[in-house]
Chains A and B, each alone.
Chain A
Amino acid sequence: GQSLEQPSEVTAVEGAIVQINCTYQTSGFYGLSWYQQHDGGAPTFLSYNALDGLEETGRFSSFLSRSDSYGYLLLQELQMKDSASYFCAVANQAGTALIFGKGTTLSVSS
C-alpha cells in the first residue's frame, strides 16, 4: 500500500524560508501532490511533481526525487498568511484515488 511521512509541525518567522519534507512508500508511483489547508477551511491544490527536480510557482517551490522516494515543499519569504497545514499526497496503485499524509502544521510568527 501507500504511506507518507511528513513532520507534524514546523515553526518559522516572517520573511524566512521553510522546507517541509515528505517521504513516501508506494506500490506504483505517479507523482507527488501538495495541498494547503487553512484552519477550518478546504484544502487547496499547490503543486504536482511527476518528474525529478524543482518546480517553482511564485514563493512556493516543490521538489521531487523519485529514486529517494522523497519530496519537499519550499516556502520562501514567509508571510503570516502562510500559517496553515500542508499535506503531501500520492495516488494509490491503480491511480484512482489520492492518499494523503497526516499533514504538517506551519506556524509563522512575526
Chain B
Amino acid sequence: EAQVTQNPRYLITVTGKKLTVTCSQNMNHEYMSWYRQDPGLGLRQIYYSMNVEVTDKGDVPEGYKVSRKEKRNFPLILESPSPNQTSLYFCASSLGSRGGEETQYFGPGTRLLVL
C-alpha cells in the first residue's frame, strides 16, 4: 500500500530534550516536506526537500532541522524543543513540486506536546 508513515504519532516531552520525528514514504517520491498545523493558522511549511541531500527552509523553520540522506526518509529534528513548538505535525511527499500540480500525500500526523 502506497503510504507516508510518521512516528511517533503522539509525543509528550519536556523543554530542551532533543527529539526526532521520523517520516518515511514508499512511493519513490522525490519531494518531501514537513508542515505544522495550529488552530486558526492552517498548515505552515517548516522545511522541504527536492531530493536526496537537497533541503530548504519553508515559512517557519526556526527551531527545526531536517536531513535527507535517503530518498524515502525525511526526519524532523527538534534540537531543543520549546512549548511554542507544541503542535500537530504532518509529513508529506509527492513526485515533484511543479508549482503544486503534483498531489501531496500526507502522513497521519504527529501530535507533540512540549511541557
Chain B interfacial residues counted at CB < 8 A: 27
Q: In the complex, A99 Cα to B97 Cα: how many Å?
A: 12
Report the minimum CB–CB distance from B29 to chain A (whole Å): 13
Q: Which of B92, B105, B106, B108 has the most CB of A within 10 A?
A: B106
Q: Which of A8, A32, A102 has the most CB of B within 10 A?
A: A102
Q: In the complex, A96 Cα to B82 Cα: how many Å?
A: 28
CB of B73 within 8 Å of the partner chain: no
CB of A63 within 8 Å of the partner chain: no
Q: Which of B59, B100, B104 has the most CB of A within 10 A?
A: B100
CB of A60 within 8 Å of the partner chain: no
Knowing A43-B90, A45-B104, the reply to whether A96 touches B43 (Cβ < 8 A) is: no
Q: In the complex, A30 Cα to B101 Cα: how many Å?
A: 8
B97-A96 in contact (CB<8A): yes
Q: For A91, give its contact among B56, B99, B105 (CB under 8 Å).
A: B99
Chain A residues near B50 (CB-CB < 8 A):
96
B-side interface residues toward A, CB under 8 Å? 33, 35, 40-45, 48, 50, 56, 58-59, 90, 92, 97-101, 103-109
- Give 6 new A-B contacts, CB below 8 A, not counting A87-B43, A100-B42: A31-B100, A31-B101, A42-B106, A42-B108, A43-B106, A45-B104
